[in-house]
Amino acid sequence: MGTDKFKAYTLVSIQVISIVLILVTGWPLAGYIPLLIIQVAGVMLGIWAIVIMGRKNTNITPLVKQDALLVTNGPYALIRHPMYSAVLLTIWPLIMDQYSLLRLTAGLILTIDLIIKMLYEESLLRKHFAGYEIYMRETKRLIPFVI
């Protein structure tokens, strides 16, 4: 396995383990209504992002498929990584609603992992797509109009 694949699968493994830890240490839905609304918004954003990305482009790893297309419509018109935003919007309400040190630790590890994964993915996308630099200047990473 090449260095890129090893790095990609390591990042995905950390992501999956962190999410599973959070999900198995409490109820999978936030009980506090405002947090549940944020969580549902995260799930809806994730579904929208996957539908717009299309089966051909969707990939859990940060590796870019050879025949991938640069998607810049739907949620991708505002943010470059709506799937990562969706994960964070879905998981952090659970941590806040049913706090434990284990969940907090897993959430922090997940967030750091996603940031590293996102930066790595962007470096690969810049190499793969000639127009990615322009797209980066026109959009935010995770939160529209903010970051």
Q: Where are the domains of the chain?
A: 30-138
Q: Which of 69, 50, 47 is nearest to 60 (CA)?
A: 50
Torsion of CA 46, 122, 126, 43, to 10 degrees: 0
What's this model's pTM, rounded to 2 decimal places? 0.94
**pLDDT confidence of residue 55:** 83
**pLDDT confidence of residue 57:** 87
Q: Structure tokens of 16?
A: 């999956």
Residue spans of the chain under pLDDT 70:
1
**pLDDT confidence of residue 147:** 72
